[in-house]
């Protein structure tokens, strides 16, 4: 499963690199892509909009987008923006990978 580590600031300046990373990660049409937010130090509303755009792209390509490494603060943001309704959130990469490779157990 490809993992995209989001590092530093997620704002409008991150758009090109995030889209490039997503294109690279989905080159071989994986069923699932993981976004790791643990290294994120700052995110504004434009950053959240970038995540929504990735989610829309993933849904269009019938891929699942997982999220891990959210601090409590970013979990709040995912709740208030209601992104949490659409994305499976995991504590860390290990638990996300376990969940993704054991779909029968989850469903």
Partner 1 sequence: MNTPSGPSQENPRRDAANWAQPVQKLQVQGMPAEAPNLVDGRRLVGPLQGFGKMWQKTYRVRLEDASVTPPALIETWKANFSSLWPRGNRFYTPLTGIAPGEVALISLAAGPMKLSTGVMVLYADAESFTLMTPQGHMFAGWITFSAFDAPKEGASQEGEGAEAACCVAQVQVLMRAQDPLSEIGLALGGHKAEDRFWSSTLRALAARFDSEAEPEIQIACVDPRRRWTEAKNVWHNAGIRSGLYVAGAPLRWLRRSGKRDDAG
Residue 32 makes contact with partner 1 by CB under 8 A = no
Rounded distance between C-alpha atoms, residue 34 and residue 44, angstroms: 20
Residue 61 makes contact with partner 1 by CB under 8 A = no
| CB-nearer residue toward partner 1: 84 or 104 | 84
Greatest CA separation for the chain: 39
Q: Which helix (H) or strand (E) holds 5?
A: strand 3-5
- For the bound state, the minimum distance from the C-beta of residue 106 to partner 1, rounded and expressed in Å, comes to 20
For residue 71, what is the DSSP state?
-
- For the bound state, the minimum distance from the C-beta of residue 8 to partner 1, rounded and expressed in Å, comes to 11
- For the bound state, the minimum distance from the C-beta of residue 95 to partner 1, rounded and expressed in Å, comes to 9
């Amino acid at each position: 499963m490809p993992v995209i580590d989001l590092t530093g600031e997620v704002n409008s300046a991150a758009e090109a690199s995030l889209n490039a990373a997503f294109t690279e990660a989905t080159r071989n049409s994986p069923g699932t892509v993981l976004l790791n937010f643990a290294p994120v130090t700052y995110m504004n509303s434009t950053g959240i909009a970038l995540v929504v755009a990735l989610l829309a792209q993933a849904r269009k390509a019938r891929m699942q987008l997982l999220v891990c490494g959210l601090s409590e603060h970013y979990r709040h943001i995912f709740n208030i923006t209601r992104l949490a309704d659409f994305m499976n959130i995991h504590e860390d990469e290990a638990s996300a990978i376990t969940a993704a490779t054991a779909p029968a157990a989850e469903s």
